[in-house]
């Protein structure tokens, strides 16, 4: 049975923290690959703060270039696909029958998981795998086990990166060079 990591998000923009977490999760869990799943219309995000979906898709593709274990998934861009993690996992299960899924999320996502659509079903579809963050408080009585992966604390956030761009500050070494090129080409987050 193949082991497949799933890492979704708005990727607004994708950054080095995302890549580090997924690489450590891949190695720690012996995953055959990690699917990066950009959300076309993330339900928990303000759409006015998002770069266009197709550009976020391109940035994510550029961010994972060069890692043969990372793969881009466009499942949330398909016609009729609702932007909920539970639906995405159900679809990926269909596309990769027999695969064991590991949903990789940040500790901040686990703190708010009870607000996600049909959140308890996530444990039926995948192993919930969390990159723990200092100070996060997690819900009690979750419907299943949580695997905590030993990631270093990485204090990089997409919000901080967007703020640095607005302020005219460097984002070098916070995002991959290919992502910087896309941000500059489309004059994003100014």
Average pLDDT, integer, range 60-87: 95
Q: Which helix (H) or strand (E) covers residue 92, if one does?
A: helix 85-95
pTM attached to this predicted model: 0.95
In whole angstroms, what is the distance from residue 139 CA to residue 178 CA? 37
How high is the pLDDT of residue 16? 97
Q: Where are the beta strands (DSSP E) in 68-184?
A: 70-72, 100-106, 127-131, 146-149
The DSSP bridge partners found for residue 3 are: 100
CA torsion, ordered 93, 42, 81, 16, to nearest 10 deg? -50
Q: How high is the pLDDT of residue 81?
A: 83
**The predicted structure's pLDDT at residue 4:** 98
Q: Is the pLDDT of residue 56 over 80?
A: yes
Distance between CA atoms of residues 39 and 84, nearest Å: 9
The domains located in the chain, with CATH, are: 3-186 (3.40.50.620)
Q: Token digits for 178? A: 């290919």
- pLDDT band of 80, cuts 50, 70, 90: confident
Please list the residues that pair with 131 across neighbouring strands.
Answer: 106, 149
Q: CA 3 to CA 7: how far, in whole Å?
A: 13
């Amino acid at each position: 049975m193949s082991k497949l990591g799933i890492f979704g998000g708005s990727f607004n923009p994708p950054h080095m923290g995302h890549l580090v977490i997924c690489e450590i999760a891949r190695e720690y869990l012996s995953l055959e690959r990690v699917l990066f799943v950009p959300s076309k219309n993330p339900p928990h995000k303000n759409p006015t703060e998002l770069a266009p979906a197709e550009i976020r898709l391109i940035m994510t593709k550029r961010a994972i270039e060069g890692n043969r274990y990372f793969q881009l998934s466009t499942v949330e861009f398909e016609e009729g696909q609702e932007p909920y993690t539970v639906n995405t996992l159900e679809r990926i299960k269909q596309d990769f029958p027999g695969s064991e899924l590991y949903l990789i999320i940040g500790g901040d996502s686990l703190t708010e998981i009870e607000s996600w659509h049909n959140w308890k079903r996530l444990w039926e579809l995948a192993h919930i795998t969390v990159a723990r963050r200092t100070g996060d408080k997690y819900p009690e009585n979750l419907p299943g086990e949580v695997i905590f992966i030993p990631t270093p604390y990485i204090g990089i956030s997409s919000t901080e990166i967007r703020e640095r761009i607005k302020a005219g500050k460097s984002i070098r070494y916070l995002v991959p060079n290919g992502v910087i090129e896309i941000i500059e080409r489309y004059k994003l987050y100014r």
